[in-house]
């Protein structure tokens, strides 16, 4: 049994958090491969190490001295080492980095990557594991994508059954230069490591007890999701839930490895388990909606033309007009004499009249209207399929609470019900759905 475990910035923020990580890792011998982020904020007004490193890079770029910031960075690691009782010596490496930095020899990516590098050095010493540099195995192509095959092979060779700590967030370009992922990229390193080593599970330890069923800024104390399928997660993320980077899901999903989101500050909590399929016996008890998500900023273009549905190729014409301007259609709803398109308002802004003008010219419709300030809200749940009365209950609850529904769609797999509402009703719609389906 092998568990690849990744700890985020808040889990590595200081010695107290390091101690929690250690007890989690050492409590299970299967946790042999550990990926860490750079130390995050210790308090709300503290700085993330990575932000300080980017700040340093910006100073260097404009020729401004960053000695104070660099000293703060060094101090954070010294504090952790001292408070964890470690005798590891990082000063030599810091001095060398400082000299190269002042000589203009350190790229922005390399500097940013040092947050995870030093974090992993300390964590390896603290756990008694080997330090394994990501630069030895996370291989990028020149276009910035990861060469998974080469990376997997390099890691299985380099890890060789040892207990290791790997820094997240970076790898190397084909020419050997350090390259970072986008922000939050240590999740991707963890997923790649789990996939490369064909782990039994990829545990992603953070500071919440799993994915919440709804946005906590809208719903008070939403419950965490216990089990969710990869498909449901995709639906929720697409519709606005900020969960995991796609790049952090794909490598493990491809290898059928379950992904478990856990809380370093509450290790007894099982968190959220993301899997290809959820077995019936695991499913019991939960509400039949898995999660609720949504986002604002859409417009609906309604095109009405008598006999539209029997005209050949009309949808193709509509799509061509939008395609030419790289406007993606999120949803299409068609009736006998009309078709409605839901589009991202930001994509059409400034070009709306142009688009409408062209649709008018090409299709010669009876009318074209646009409804702006539309929000989309989705209830996602594998258990909604074949369950009678779901949509009836949903619309009754929304109606009773004064939310006017402007658009409805449900995928044929019945994995979700998506509704369009006015932006002013967005929060209310989410709360109504949560109250009627989750607290049922």
Least Cβ distance, residue 111 to ligand ASP (angstroms): 12
In angstroms, the CA 270 to CA 333 distance is 40
Least Cβ distance, residue 280 to ligand ASP (angstroms): 35
Give 54: exposed, middle or buried? Use CB within 10 Å, 0-12, 13-18, 19+. Answer: middle
Least Cβ distance, residue 224 to ligand ASP (angstroms): 21
Given the complex with ligand ASP, which of 115 and 171 has the nearer CB atom? 115
Least Cβ distance, residue 305 to ligand ASP (angstroms): 49
Separation in Å, CA 38 to CA 48, 183, 291: 8, 11, 30
**Is the Cα torsion angle 162, 165, 167, 169 positive or negative in sign?**
positive
In angstroms, the CA 108 to CA 117 distance is 14
Least Cβ distance, residue 38 to ligand ASP (angstroms): 4
Instruction: Please list every residue from 48 through 107 that binds ligand ASP, using CB under 6 A.
Output: 48, 50
- Write a three-state SS string for 274-302: EECCCCHHHHCCCCCCCEEEEEEEEEEEE
Residue 206, both tokens: 């953070």
Instruction: Please list every residue from 152 through 191 that binds ligand ASP, using CB under 6 A.
Output: 168-169, 183-187
Given the complex with ligand ASP, which of 166 and 219 has the nearer CB atom? 166
Given the complex with ligand ASP, which of 168 and 291 has the nearer CB atom? 168
- Binding-site string for ligand ASP from residue 106 to residue 145, where x marks contact by CB under 6 A and - marks none: ---------x------------------------------
Given the complex with ligand ASP, which of 185 and 291 has the nearer CB atom? 185
Given the complex with ligand ASP, which of 112 and 301 has the nearer CB atom? 112
104: how many CB neighbours lie within 10 A of its CB?
10
Residue 414, SS3 per DSSP: coil
Instruction: Provide CB contacts within 8 A for 108, sequence distance 6+.
Output: 54, 57, 61
Query: HSE of 58 in the Cβ direction (CA atoms, 13 Å)?
Result: 7
Least Cβ distance, residue 186 to ligand ASP (angstroms): 3
Instruction: Please list every residue from 232 through 261 that binds ligand ASP, using CB under 6 A.
Output: none
Residue 308, both tokens: 């539209």
The C-alpha R_g of the chain, in whole angstroms, comes to 25
Least Cβ distance, residue 5 to ligand ASP (angstroms): 14
Size of the site for ligand ASP (CB under 6 A): 14
Instruction: Provide CB contacts within 8 A for 85, sequence distance 6+.
Output: none
Q: Please check whether residue 409 is in contact with residue 392, taking contact to mean a CB–CB distance below 8 angstroms.
A: no
- Binding-site string for ligand ASP from residue 30 to residue 49, where x marks contact by CB under 6 A and - marks none: -------xx---------x-
Least Cβ distance, residue 112 to ligand ASP (angstroms): 7
Would you count residue 434 as binding ligand ASP (CB under 6 A)?
A: no
Q: Specify the DSSP element, H or E, that contains 122.
A: helix 108-127
Given the complex with ligand ASP, which of 51 and 427 has the nearer CB atom? 51
- Binding-site string for ligand ASP from residue 7 to residue 26, where x marks contact by CB under 6 A and - marks none: -xx-----------------
Given the complex with ligand ASP, which of 107 and 360 has the nearer CB atom? 107
Q: Please check whether residue 343 is in contact with residue 328, taking contact to mean a CB–CB distance below 8 angstroms.
A: yes
Least Cβ distance, residue 321 to ligand ASP (angstroms): 39
Strands 227-229 and 3-7: unpaired
Q: Please check whether residue 269 is in contact with residue 262, taking contact to mean a CB–CB distance below 8 angstroms.
A: yes
- Binding-site string for ligand ASP from residue 186 to residue 225, where x marks contact by CB under 6 A and - marks none: xx--------------------------------------
Least Cβ distance, residue 12 to ligand ASP (angstroms): 9
Given the complex with ligand ASP, which of 201 and 248 has the nearer CB atom? 248
Given the complex with ligand ASP, which of 181 and 426 has the nearer CB atom? 181
Given the complex with ligand ASP, which of 31 and 48 has the nearer CB atom? 48
In angstroms, the CA 137 to CA 151 distance is 5
Given the complex with ligand ASP, which of 170 and 437 has the nearer CB atom? 170
Strands 416-422 and 405-410: antiparallel
Least Cβ distance, residue 62 to ligand ASP (angstroms): 22
In angstroms, the CA 112 to CA 429 distance is 41
Binding site for ligand ASP (CB under 6 A): 8-9, 37-38, 48, 50, 115, 168-169, 183-187
């Amino acid at each position: 049994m092998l568990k690849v475990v990744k700890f985020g910035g808040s889990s590595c923020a200081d010695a107290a958090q390091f101690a929690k990580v250690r007890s989690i890792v050492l409590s299970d011998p299967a946790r042999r491969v550990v990926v860490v982020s750079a130390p995050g904020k210790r308090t709300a007004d503290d700085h993330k190490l990575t932000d300080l490193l980017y700040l340093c890079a910006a100073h260097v770029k404009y020729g401004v001295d960053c000695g104070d910031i660099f000293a703060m960075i060094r101090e954070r690691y010294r504090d952790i080492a001292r408070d964890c009782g470690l005798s590891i010596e990082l000063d030599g490496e810091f001095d060398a980095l400082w000299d190269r930095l002042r000589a203009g020899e350190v790229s922005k990516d390399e500097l940013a990557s040092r947050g995870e590098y030093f974090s992993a050095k300390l964590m390896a010493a603290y756990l008694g594991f080997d330090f394994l540099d990501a630069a030895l195995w996370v291989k990028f192509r020149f276009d910035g994508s990861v060469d998974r095959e080469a990376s997997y092979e390099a890691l299985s060779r380099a890890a060789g059954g040892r207990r290791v700590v790997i820094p997240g967030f970076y790898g190397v370009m084909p020419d050997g230069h350090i390259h970072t992922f986008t922000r939050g990229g240590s999740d991707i390193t963890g997923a790649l490591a789990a996939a490369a080593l064909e782990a039994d599970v990829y545990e992603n330890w953070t500071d919440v007890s799993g994915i919440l069923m709804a946005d906590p800024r809208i719903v008070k104390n939403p419950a965490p999701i216990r089990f969710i399928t990869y498909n449901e997660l995709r639906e929720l993320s697409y519709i606005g839930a900020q969960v995991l980077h796609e790049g952090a899901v794909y490598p493990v999903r491809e290898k059928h490895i379950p992904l478990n989101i856990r809380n370093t500050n509450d290790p007894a909590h099982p968190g959220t388990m993301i899997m290809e399929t959820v077995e019936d016996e695991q499913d019991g008890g939960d509400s039949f909606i898995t999660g609720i998500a949504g986002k604002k900023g859409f417009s609906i273009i309604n095109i009405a033309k008598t006999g539209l549905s029997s005209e050949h190729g009309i949808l193709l014409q509509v799509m061509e007009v939008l395609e030419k301007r790289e406007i993606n259609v999120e949803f299409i709803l068609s009736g006998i004499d009309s078709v409605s398109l839901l589009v991202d308002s930001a994509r059409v802004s400034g070009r709306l009249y142009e688009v409408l003008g062209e649709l008018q010219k090409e299709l010669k419709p009876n009318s074209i209207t646009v409804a702006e300030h539309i929000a989309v809200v989705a209830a996602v749940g594998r258990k909604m399929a074949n369950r009678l009365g779901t949509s009836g209950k949903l619309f009754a609850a929304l109606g009773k609470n004064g939310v006017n529904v402007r658009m409805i769609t449900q995928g044929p797999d019945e994995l979700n019900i998506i509704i369009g509402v006015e932006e002013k009703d967005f929060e209310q719609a989410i709360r109504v759905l949560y109250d009627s389906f989750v607290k049922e």
